[in-house]
């Protein structure tokens, strides 16, 4: 599936390993939070990059102590109308200062990408929007009313600057 990160389409070197499948010996893998919880020591001892895929009901607080060991967190949107992933992203980026890749996976549509970007996502796995559309969506608004993870300066600050 096409992966768009930082304004470009890139090759996806990551593979999600379902809970029932064996861990491959090498390569960059993501696992569910449940698997990360139960096999954490094995996973972190590997000599490979590790990521976690969060389901909407997962609590990102569980990852707080391991964020510097993770290179990727995927937040899944089984349905694009389920907005829990936006709060997960804000918590990871703003409260826990997670600095690795934060990727939206699942039902990721063009018209949600502006909100995702503002909430701290920097990569989008989407079959439903091409690069041109994603870039267009990211630039639909030049001003924002509230602070959020992506750090855009809200208008209430711009109004009183200098």
Partner 1 sequence: MYRYDEFDARIVSERVAQFRGQVNRRLSGELLEDEFKPLRLQNGVYLQLHAYMLRVAIPYGQLNGRQLRRLAVIARDYDRGYGHFTTRQNIQFNWVALKDIPDVLESLAEVEMHAIQTSGNCIRNTTSDHFAGAAKDEIMDPRPWCEIIRQWSTFHPEFAFLPRKFKIAVTGAEHDRAAIRVHDIGLHMRQRGDVVGFEVHVGGGQGRTPHLAALVSEFVPETELLDYLEAIMRVYNRFGRRDNKYKARIKILVSELGADEFRRLVREEYAAQREHEKIALPPEEIARIHAYFAPPELTPVSGSDAAFEALKAEDKEFARWARINLHPHKVDGHVSVTISLKPIGGVAGDATDAQMMTVAHLAETYAYDDIRVSHAQNLVLPHVALKDLPDIYRELKAAGIATANESLITDMIVCPGLDYCNLANARSIPVGQAVQQVFADPDYQEDIGRLHINISGCINACGHHHVGHIGILGVDRKGEEFYQITLGGRADEKAAIGDIAGPGLKADDVPGALKRVVDTYRDLRTDKSELFIEMLARLGHEPFKEALYAAD
Interface residue list for partner 1 (CB under 8 A): 56, 80-84, 86-87, 90, 94-95, 109, 111-112, 114-116, 118-119, 140-148, 155-160
C-beta closer to partner 1: residue 41 or 143 = 143
Residues 127/100, Cβ–Cβ less than 8 Å: no
C-beta closer to partner 1: residue 47 or 146 = 146
User: Could you tell me how many helices (H) and strands (E) the chain has, helices first?
Assistant: 6, 8
Residues 56/82, Cβ–Cβ less than 8 Å: yes
Q: How far is the CB of 7 from partner 1 (least distance, A)?
A: 18
- β-sheet bridge partners, residue 35: none
Q: How far is the CB of 10 from partner 1 (least distance, A)?
A: 24
How far CA 14 is from CA of 7, 10, 75, 143, 158, in Å, comes to 19, 11, 14, 34, 40
C-beta closer to partner 1: residue 53 or 110 = 110
Q: How far is the CB of 40 from partner 1 (least distance, A)?
A: 23
């Amino acid at each position: 599936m096409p992966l768009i990160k930082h304004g470009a389409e890139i090759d996806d070197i990551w593979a999600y390993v379902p809970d029932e499948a064996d861990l491959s010996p090498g390569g960059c893998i993501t696992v569910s939070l449940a698997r990360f919880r139960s096999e954490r020591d094995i996973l972190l001892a590997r000599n490979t990059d590790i990521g976690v895929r969060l389901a909407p009901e997962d609590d990102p607080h569980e990852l707080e102590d391991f964020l510097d060991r993770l290179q990727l967190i995927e937040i899944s949107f089984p349905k694009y109308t389920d907005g829990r992933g936006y709060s997960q992203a804000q918590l990871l980026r703003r409260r826990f200062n997670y600095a690795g890749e934060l990727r939206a996976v699942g039902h990721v549509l063009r018209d949600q990408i502006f909100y995702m970007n503002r909430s701290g996502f920097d990569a989008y796995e989407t079959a439903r929007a091409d690069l041109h559309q994603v870039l267009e969506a990211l630039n639909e608004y030049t001003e924002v009313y509230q602070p959020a993870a992506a750090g855009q300066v809200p208008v209430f600050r711009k109004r009183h600057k200098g």
